[in-house]
Structure 1
């Protein structure tokens, strides 16, 4: 029965059906095949989304959209320019710095890709051509779900249950995110040096640095306030997201003064559409998970995995290989909702730290957002800039390789992921 449900979902998804619709049809097909009364569907759907922690997802989306509408990109670019200076590949490195700064307030790769493509590609294109420019933007946008706050980590923590906290997941991404950020900076310099791109940027001066620090301090206080409050226990992730929304409103209306009342309906509509899609997938996935449970699929998978290997590292390698394929063909939210309830308990049986496994799972699927044929970041960048998919993929592969290198390092050395959360008591 479980295989029938999975096959139904995959066929519909690969045919281009909406993911929530595909999950719903798969759930109904499973109920019909198992002979369970379809009346159980409605209460399960309601109970799945009747959750206070889930409210943090639309609130973080609203906060990110408000920050973007409030002129955050201009200040982030000016801040990056003041620190990078006149170096080879300087504008490319400014984009990576701006992407990292944007990641610390938005938590979503798609929103970051849209903002960076719209604002920076015209300037980048004059220096490097369209292909490399869009490759940089796609890589910088993919820092969004890694550097906290992260919408993907919130979804993972919710689907994994009480063994994983949102604050712990956020902290697990800090060190790997900084390592990945440094690798992207080095890659930009190496590619610019190899291709002999011209020097770009303005000379670094203390006065410029101090001026941009003063202008940008209010932006970077938001993640410090929100994430610090969540980690310190001052408020829950949902309350922290609400604080972020209030902060973004004050920043946009009274500090940058670029946010207008007319922007609010569009912000709320964007957040509502995305939240409704995620909520519908979670609701229908709860029924699918229920069907998997009564079919004993988690136990069967655990026995199968342990029959193949008793090594935690080889188990992680098998999961990474599976997620590499899944990320190529399935949207990441659907993958979290379908697969986390299956594989998270198995990872615990192997004695793998839940935060370590959670971060690796998220990171695998984040890389999938840059992998054709269903890499959502690739489609966003192509749609906004008009670059051909083949050209964008060709220019993105060094950054994808860097992400896989960091993923492998995190698998071999779990302390990269778990050191900071452990120090903070997670």
Structure 2
């Protein structure tokens, strides 16, 4: 029985990501050293992924894929171009606004990076340099994990237990997400002006803007229906994700009329692959989390931090510093799975608002998706656009700095994060 468990475990690990395999090795080694019955390991793995809320992740991914294949991205781009295309850095603004709207559909930075990179970077390269074009689109893609619905927030809420709700975290991301969008646009304008890039897009025309708004209205209504239903308690996040898929199918088949039956299988396949990677990380990290729990690691960390400081702000600064380093080297989903069970209970002992802490935690690791050496959004963008990684890294630092600036503002002024969810009763 033990040999069969080990063989099955490694077969599953080899099918996952390299990081999942590493987590699997760590789990197996910990169980062997701790003389824990190995049959517990697959049980913990199955228990960790057998969660109804996790169904929302592949469904939101599928909704995003269907929106792209259904020609909906072009409507978002046309709408953004009619509104902000003539400003300094017009195409950059179009990318950022399109990224914000796609974020309200896909919930994932990586999916947004793939869609926006292949759609927008070729046009931007005609007017801007390669590094700047890819950096702008990478930054716009990163809004996907901040603006609701956010797959990262779903994973955090699952790992944190009953202390936070998915709907509450979704609402916590609204105001910072808008702030971040405006900050990106301000930076893009300044950089475009400084670099001497020419104006793009047509002169603003109210009639054209109204026409493009009307064409994009069915798309713009989607996040209102989905997120509004989740926040209003009409349906759960998972049910909302299912509604998003149905909405995307209806729009693609009957409004844009560009979605074909032959597109369904590729969309399902890409969503399944993306969800499988997340599921593999969760399952293989479950063993490590179990070992942390039985060894009382959270309690030890809490005792250590209490000895270091009694100040909630110092505690937050310490955690944020740790997460900055973690975000540079560990994939974000793995970091949520391993670290949320450690730090979320400690935050409660310091009296930190769990909703506030949860958002800061997610936001910090989301920024880590754009920081080398393991910035997954950078790797996706470089692969899609063929922009060398070194050039992309040089161009992306101002946008990373802006994200950290917004994070610091949220840390200093908690009401930026908590005002909307508390107003709505979370």
Deviation at 1:48, TM superposition (A): 1.7
CA RMSD after TM alignment: 1.4
User: Would you say 1:267 and 2:267 are equivalent positions?
Assistant: yes
Q: Report matched runs for 1:323-342 at 5 Å.
A: 323-342=323-342
Q: Which residue of 1 aligns with 2:111?
A: 111
User: Would you say 1:91 and 2:97 are equivalent positions?
Assistant: no
Q: Which residue of 1 aligns with 2:291?
A: 291
**For the residues of structure 2 that align with 1:196 and 1:85, how far apart are their CA atoms?**
16
> CA-to-partner distance for each residue in 1:67-99, whole Å, 9 max, x for gaps?
111112111111011111422211111111111
Q: Which residue of 2 aligns with 1:276?
A: 276
Matched-pair contact (CA < 8 Å) for 1:171–1:420: yes
> CA-to-partner distance for each residue in 1:235-276, whole Å, 9 max, x for gaps?
011111111111011011111111111111111111111212
Unpaired stretches in structure 1, ≥5 consecutive residues: 1-12
User: Would you say 1:235 and 2:235 are equivalent positions?
Assistant: yes
Q: Report matched runs for 1:325-404 at 5 Å.
A: 325-404=325-404
User: Would you say 1:412 and 2:415 are equivalent positions?
Assistant: no
Q: Which residue of 2 aligns with 1:314?
A: 314
Deviation at 1:290, TM superposition (A): 1.7
Deviation at 1:38, TM superposition (A): 0.7
Unpaired stretches in structure 2, ≥5 consecutive residues: 1-12
Matched-pair contact (CA < 8 Å) for 1:69–1:258: yes
Deviation at 1:277, TM superposition (A): 2.0
Matched-pair contact (CA < 8 Å) for 2:17–2:281: no
> CA-to-partner distance for each residue in 1:104-145, whole Å, 9 max, x for gaps?
111111111111111111111111121111111111111110
Matched-pair contact (CA < 8 Å) for 1:139–1:399: yes
**For the residues of structure 2 that align with 1:248 and 1:374, how far apart are their CA atoms?**
32
> CA-to-partner distance for each residue in 1:296-348, whole Å, 9 max, x for gaps?
11100001111111111111111111111111111111111111111111111
3-state DSSP of counterpart to 1:142: helix
> CA-to-partner distance for each residue in 1:37-92, whole Å, 9 max, x for gaps?
11112222222222111111111111111111111211111101111142221111
Q: Report matched runs for 1:19-168 at 5 Å.
A: 19-168=19-168
Q: 1:122 to 1:65 in 2, by over 3 A?
A: same
Matched-pair contact (CA < 8 Å) for 2:176–2:417: yes
3-state DSSP of counterpart to 2:246: helix
Matched-pair contact (CA < 8 Å) for 2:17–2:280: no
> CA-to-partner distance for each residue in 1:131-169, whole Å, 9 max, x for gaps?
111111111111110111111111111111111111001
Matched-pair contact (CA < 8 Å) for 1:313–1:412: no
- TM-score, reference length from structure 2: 0.95
**For the residues of structure 1 that align with 2:196 and 2:27, how far apart are their CA atoms?**
55
Matched-pair contact (CA < 8 Å) for 1:167–1:237: yes
Count of residues in correspondence between the two structures:
412
3-state DSSP of counterpart to 1:425: coil
Q: Which residue of 2 aligns with 1:18?
A: 18
Kindly report structure 1 stretches of 4+ aligned residues shifted beyond 6 Å: none
**For the residues of structure 2 that align with 1:43 and 1:333, how far apart are their CA atoms?**
21
**For the residues of structure 2 that align with 1:22 and 1:31, how far apart are their CA atoms?**
14
Which of 48-57 and 351-360 deviates more?
A: 48-57
User: Would you say 1:186 and 2:186 are equivalent positions?
Assistant: yes
User: Would you say 1:207 and 2:231 are equivalent positions?
Assistant: no
Matched-pair contact (CA < 8 Å) for 2:76–2:101: yes
Q: Which residue of 1 aligns with 2:10?
A: none
3-state DSSP of counterpart to 1:307: helix
**For the residues of structure 2 that align with 1:237 and 1:85, how far apart are their CA atoms?**
34
3-state DSSP of counterpart to 2:24: helix
